[in-house]
């Protein structure tokens, strides 16, 4: 019985976050499945109405049964843009042309080994351990939380510091009854240069407006600071208190090392830690409620790409799914950079804050029609307030998600 519990828990944590898939081949040793979804939506926000792609994706999973209770597996996932993204561009030959966006982009790609007793180890681009802590509020289709510290560096995929879909990551997972955990290391070498701004005030590099020079429109001289941002580390723990209540906790760490043009060496730590709690199951009928909170330092950037010395984030979500397939939900999210940010950037204020409400009609488990709206309450007081607010706005969207 104990071994069955361990196996079930291990299967749950190996493939976080879960998604439906269709098994297309299976024999005594090998199995192949295909998954993903196509999401099309009409959205009105920032003064425009457009048809846009809702993070559509396709993935392939391969599993092979090995000796002594081991199995080998791999997963490959690509984001797809099936609706086109053609734009008019003015090229170097002084002529106009049509340019289309990429149809495919890499989301996940990893290979691993798993055993019911010894756990699993995976290598590649995969969801970070930190996502175990905060996935519980990331169920809105149109507006992701963006306050949990997952999709860092101005709403990217979290690959830089390994909190989202981390690049070059080694991860170990295991489960014991109702308790499961994950630990990881992101093994990478990343070096880049930033222009030095003598007048800028920045707690990371006093002589450099870190990662914001171009975004803020600041004129820089020819001197540069060389920055190294290499390994990151993370861990998470999950405890299923009851069939309805789940508690999570975790952390992620990295370190910047910089050398200015004058030879001065500077170091800062990228850190985030937090906890979460979940009641119920998002896909089941009845009440679902979840929240997570985090404290972070030098972990994320503002909407101009400037590093935030510290910030506190909260994400929350509550929903109710009726017997007829109608699911209603509301979420509240806030990421507040606080007084350290104000001191670093001449009194600028960064407080990303918004409410999302939605109605989903779950026609069947793989086909969902949805309507979602966002009301923004952000505060971006300061010189760059208008530029910062461009990517934060009220909006409404209607769409359909077809899952394989």
Q: Is residue 269 part of a domain?
A: yes
pLDDT of residue 226: 87
In the predicted structure, residue 197 carries a pLDDT above the cut 80: no
Cis previous bond, 79, omega within 30: no
Between CA 111 and CA 162 the distance in angstroms is 17
Burial class, 384, CB count within 10 angstroms (exposed 0-12 / middle 13-18 / buried 19+):
buried
Q: What is residue 213's predicted lDDT score, i.e. its pLDDT?
A: 36
Torsional class of 229: left (φ above 0), alpha (ψ -120 to 50), beta (otherwise): beta
Report the relative pairing of strands 119-127 and 165-176 from DSSP bridges: antiparallel
Q: Are 176 and 2 in contact (CB under 8 A)?
A: no
The mean pLDDT value for 151-175 works out to 94
DSSP states of 301-316: B-TTSPBPSEEEEEEE
Q: Is residue 201 part of a domain?
A: yes
CA distance 146 to 351: 12
Which of left, alpha, beta for 280 (phi over 0: left; psi -120 to 50: alpha)? left
The residues, ordered by sequence, that sit 6+ positions from 322 with a Cβ below 8 Å of its Cβ are 285
In which band, very low, low, confident or very high, does the pLDDT at 199 lie, cut at 50, 70 and 90? Answer: very low
Domain count for the chain, please give it. Answer: 1
Neighbouring C-alpha atoms within 13 Å toward the C-beta of 229: 20
Range of the domain at 309: 44-53+92-107+127-403
Three-state DSSP state, 328: strand
Phi, psi for 281 (deg, rounded to 5): -130, 130
For residue 354, how many other CB atoms are within 10 A of its CB?
Answer: 22
User: Given a cut of 80, is residue 21 above it in pLDDT?
Assistant: yes
Residues 298, 262, 231: CA angle, nearest 5 degrees: 35
For CA atoms 74, 20, 131, 38, the dihedral sign is: positive
What is the structure's pLDDT at 92?
46
* Cα torsion 60, 325, 148, 218: sign: positive
Helix, strand, coil content of the chain in percent (nearest 5): 10, 55, 35
Residue 49 falls inside a structural domain: yes
Q: Does residue 359 sit within a domain?
A: yes
**340 contacts 348 by C-beta, under 8 angstroms:** no
Among 37, 152, 12, which Cα is nearest to 399's? 37
pTM higher than 0.85 for the full model? yes
With respect to residue 33, please indicate whether it lies within any of the assigned structural domains: no
Q: Is residue 66 part of a domain?
A: no
Query: Tens of pLDDT along 34-90?
Result: 999 999 999 999 889 999 999 999 999 999 999 999 999 999 999 999 887 766 655
**Which residues fall within 8 angstroms of residue 292, CB to CB, at 6 or more apart?**
133, 134, 136, 137, 148, 248, 274, 275, 276, 277, 314, 315
Per-residue H/E/C for 15-82? CCCCCCEEEEEECCCEEEEEEEEEEEEEEEECCEEEEEECCCEEEEEEEEECHHHEEEEEEEEEEECC
pLDDT-derived band at 18 (thresholds 50, 70, 90) equals very low
Q: Is the CB of residue 91 less than 8 Å from the CB of residue 97? A: yes
Place of tokens 């489960």: 175
**Residue 99 falls within a domain, yes or no?**
yes
CATH number of the domain enclosing 354:
2.40.160.10
User: Do the domain assignments include residue 65?
Assistant: no
Torsion of CA 53, 319, 248, 351, to 10 degrees: 70
Tens digits of residue pLDDT in 240-298: 999 999 999 999 999 988 888 888 888 889 999 999 999 999 999 999 999 999 999 99
Q: According to the model, what pLDDT value does residue 101 have? A: 64
**144 vs 89 pLDDT, higher one:** 144
């Amino acid at each position: 019985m104990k071994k069955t519990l361990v196996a079930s828990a291990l299967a749950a944590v190996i493939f976080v976050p879960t998604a439906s898939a269709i098994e297309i081949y299976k024999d005594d040793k090998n199995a192949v499945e295909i998954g993903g979804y196509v999401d099309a939506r009409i959205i009105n926000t920032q003064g425009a109405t457009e048809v846009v792609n809702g993070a559509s994706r396709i993935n392939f999973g391969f599993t092979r049964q090995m000796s002594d209770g081991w199995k080998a597996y791999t997963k490959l996932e690509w984001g797809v843009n099936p609706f086109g993204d053609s734009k008019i561009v003015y090229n170097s030959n002084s002529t106009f042309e049509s340019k289309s966006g990429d149809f495919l982009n890499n989301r996940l790609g990893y290979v691993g080994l798993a055993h019911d007793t010894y756990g699993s180890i995976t290598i590649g681009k995969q969801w970070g351990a930190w996502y175990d802590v905060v996935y519980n509020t990331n169920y809105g289709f149109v507006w992701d939380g963006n306050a949990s510290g997952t999709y860092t560096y101005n709403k990217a995929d979290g690959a830089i510091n390994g909190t989202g879909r981390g690049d070059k990551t080694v991860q170990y997972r295991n489960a014991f009854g109702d308790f499961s955990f994950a630990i990881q290391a992101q093994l990478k070498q990343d070096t880049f240069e930033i222009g030095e701004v003598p007048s800028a005030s920045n707690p990371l590099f006093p002589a450099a407006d870190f990662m914001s020079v171009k975004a803020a429109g600041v004129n820089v001289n020819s001197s540069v600071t060389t920055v190294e941002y290499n390994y990151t580390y993370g861990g998470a723990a999950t405890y299923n208190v009851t069939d309805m209540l789940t508690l999570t906790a975790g952390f992620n760490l990295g370190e910047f090392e910089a050398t200015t043009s004058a030879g001065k060496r500077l170091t800062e730590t990228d850190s985030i830690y937090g906890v979460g709690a979940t009641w119920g199951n998002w896909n089941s009928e009845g009440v679902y409620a979840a929240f997570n909170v985090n404290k972070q330092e030098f972990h994320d950037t503002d909407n101009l790409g400037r590093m935030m010395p510290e910030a506190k984030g909260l994400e929350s979500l509550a929903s109710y799914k009726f017997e007829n397939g109608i699911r209603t939900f509301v979420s509240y999210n806030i990421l507040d950079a606080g007084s350290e940010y104000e001191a670093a950037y001449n009194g600028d204020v960064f407080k990303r804050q918004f409410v999302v409400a939605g109605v989903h009609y779950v026609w069947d488990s793989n086909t969902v029609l949805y309507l979602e709206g966002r009301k923004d309450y952000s505060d971006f007081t300061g010189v760059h307030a208008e530029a910062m607010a461009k990517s934060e706005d009220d909006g409404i969207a209607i769409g359909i998600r077809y899952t394989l």
